[in-house]
Amino acid sequence: MRYLPLTPDDRAEMLGVIGAATIDDLFRDVPEAARPADLFDLPLHAGELEVERELSALSAKNRAAGAGPFFLGAGAYKHHVPATVDHIIQRSEFLTSYTPYQPEIAQGTLQVLFEFQTQVAALTGLDVANASMYDGSTATAEAVMMAQRVTRREKAVLSGGLHPHYASTTQTIAHAEGMEIVRLPAAVDAEAAVIEAIDAETACVVVQTPNVFGVVTDVSKIAEAAHAAGALLIVVTTEAVSYGLMKSPGAMGADIAVAEGQSIGNALNFGGPYVGLFACREKLVRQMPGRLCGETVDAEGRRGYVLTLSTREQHIRREKATSNICTNSGLCALAFSIHLSLLGGAGLSQLARVNHSRARELRDALAGVAGVEVLTPRFFNELAIKTSVPAAQLADELAAEGILAGVPFSRLDPAGGMDDVLLVCATETNTSQDIAALAAALSRKLAR
């Protein structure tokens, strides 16, 4: 039991100091009926080697994304993360510290959060950002509820281009709060349709760009329509690398921008932990959920950072809080911030250009395959393609051949009526050989 420092002698001596005869004396408030004498029916303790063997065997049963040609996106992206990032986030002082409630001995974490907030505000083109949310989907739900607080209206309109799992998460969480969620039908170029759905009851419209089908959209017109009706525009982005190239949500009139930040600094991790980005206009900041770090001075006038505006939060406001959130995604936010510091604005722009170039190469290769129709007209690094056989079947068959070809849209939305749509993605990690291998495999499958 290598994680337990007390020796039997320590325990005996400590019981003596306490004045207890046995350890059971300390558990005497537990009802007798709920104190089983036997150990629970689970294996006994195991050494490092044994645990490592078991987990390595489980890991080996999975096909890692890096094991071959890989084209999945749809909310989680395979990017190269510099080795420095994972090294720094494992430093004891970042890895094993708590939420920075004692600012005098947490300036490391606090300054990182202040830098992170500034980076996120710059990426999204908005004034302020919080210190992170759980992930992009829960950040979307929180943004919708924030719009309810700001506008005192109950209806949210979700675009048909919003990631279906984001829409379901928002529906589950915001509906519980009593909001009416209008989810428009899934469609590749769905964004313009939201304008017609805005009315005087609408608290917000939620639009994703690049959307789940990869389409990039100028949302300025939607912003105008939303604002004319007194509603807020929430812009969602699942691929944060796109901020390096695409016009920012703020520049197109968004009031709130939320994003999945996994792409920058964080591994795929089978879906989590990820890091939600959340930014808004300055005038809305007091309705914002989550933690905020702000600049101040210490007793000697030196610059320092603290968690601030905590009167919005659950530990102060309890049932009147803006959100119930407590833990956020601190270490993932740190990874994001380190990677982005290494990239800089210039590096992120170039990374985005490389991604788009690879996606163009992918588009050109797939457009030449008989039985494939490229559906996405304008894109960053993702595309929707229509295939002449069901996409789920195709993805399974290609996986058996060692090619992870994409995400069948039916996996995200089985009732969406798009069983023949496959979502594919290219990043800087895809080589020309990968792309050629996918195109060749598709030609073979679709030709039969």
Partner 1 sequence: MSMLNVGRPTRPDTAGESTGHASLSGGRALLQDEGLLFEVGGWEKTGVDLDETPGFDESDLGGLVRDDLRLPGLSEPEAVRHYVRLSQKNHAIDLALYPLGSCTMKHNPRLNEKMARLPGFADLHPLQPTSTTQGALELMDRLAHWLKTLTGMPAVALTPKAGAHGELCGLLAIKAAHEAAGQGHRRRVLVPTSAHGTNPATAAFVGYSVTEIAQTDDGRVDLSDLAAKLSDDVAAIMVTNPNTCGLFERDILEISRLTHEAGAYFYCDGANFNAIVGRVRPGDLGVDAMHINLHKTFSTPHGGGGPGAGPVVLSQALAAFAPAPWVVHDGEGLRLEEETAGEAAQAFGRMSAFHGQMGMFVRAYAYMRSHGADGLRQVAEDAVLNANYLKARLSVAMSPAFPEGPCMHEALFDDSWLEGTGITTLDFAKAMIDEGFHPMTMYFPLVVHGAMLIEPTETESKQELDRFVHALLGLAEAAKAGDVERFKGAPFLAPLRRLDETQAARKPKLTWRPEPTGVAPAPLAAE
The footprint of partner 1 on residues 323-342 (CB under 8 A) is 323-332, 334, 338, 340-342
Binding of partner 1 at residue 191 (CB under 8 A)?
no
In the shown chain, the binding pattern of residues 58 to 77 toward partner 1, with x for contact by CB under 8 A and - for none, equals xxxxxxxxxx--x-x-xxx-
In the shown chain, the binding pattern of residues 142 to 181 toward partner 1, with x for contact by CB under 8 A and - for none, equals ---------------------x-xx-xx-xxx-xxxx---
> Closest separation between CB of residue 356 and partner 1, Å?
7
The dihedral built from the CA positions of residue 130, 134, 136 and 137, taken in this order, carries a sign that is negative
Stretch that binds partner 1, among 150-158, 190-198, 229-237, 240-248 (CB under 8 A): 240-248
Which 8-state DSSP code applies to residue 273?
Answer: S
> Closest separation between CB of residue 405 and partner 1, Å?
9
Which residues, numbered 244-273, are part of the site for partner 1 (CB under 8 A)? 244-248, 251, 260, 267-273
Which of 234, 336, 325, 340 is closest to 279 using CA atoms? 234
CB burial of 9-48 (b: ≥16 within 10 Å; e: otherwise) equals eeeeeeeeeeeeeeeeeeeeeeeeeeeeeeeeeeeeeeee
Alpha-carbon distance of 430 to 428, in angstroms, equals 6
> Closest separation between CB of residue 198 and partner 1, Å?
22
In the complex with partner 1, the residue whose CB is nearer, 229 or 392, is 392
Binding of partner 1 at residue 21 (CB under 8 A)?
no
Alpha-carbon distance of 85 to 119, in angstroms, equals 16
> Closest separation between CB of residue 79 and partner 1, Å?
11
Which residues, numbered 295-314, are part of the site for partner 1 (CB under 8 A)? 295-306, 308-311, 313-314
> Closest separation between CB of residue 151 and partner 1, Å?
18
Give me the residue label for tokens 């993605």: 425
Q: Which two tokens stand for residue 93?
A: 């002082």
In the shown chain, the binding pattern of residues 200 to 239 toward partner 1, with x for contact by CB under 8 A and - for none, equals ----------------xxx---------------------
In the complex with partner 1, the residue whose CB is nearer, 294 or 371, is 294
Binding of partner 1 at residue 8 (CB under 8 A)?
no
In the complex with partner 1, the residue whose CB is nearer, 275 or 369, is 275
Q: Which two tokens stand for residue 168?
A: 């379901």
Which residues, numbered 338-377, are part of the site for partner 1 (CB under 8 A)? 338, 340-351, 353-354, 356-357, 360, 363, 377
In sequence order, what DSSP letters do the residues of 1-44 get, joined into one string? -TT----HHHHHHHHHHHT-SSHHHHTTTS-GGG--SSPPSS--
In the shown chain, the binding pattern of residues 382 to 421 toward partner 1, with x for contact by CB under 8 A and - for none, equals -------------xx--xx---x--x---xx-xx------
- Identify residue 218 by its one-letter amino acid code: D
Find out whether 336 and 266 touch, Cβ atoms under 8 Å: yes
Q: Which two tokens stand for residue 297?
A: 């001075």
- Identify residue 389 by its one-letter amino acid code: V
Which residues, numbered 82-101, are part of the site for partner 1 (CB under 8 A)? 82, 84, 86-100
Q: Which residue of 379, 384, 420, 424 would you call a contact of partner 1, by CB under 8 A?
A: 379
Find out whether 175 and 154 touch, Cβ atoms under 8 Å: no
Secondary structure (H, E, C), 198-221: CCCCEEEEEEECCCCCCECCCCHH
In the complex with partner 1, the residue whose CB is nearer, 97 or 229, is 97
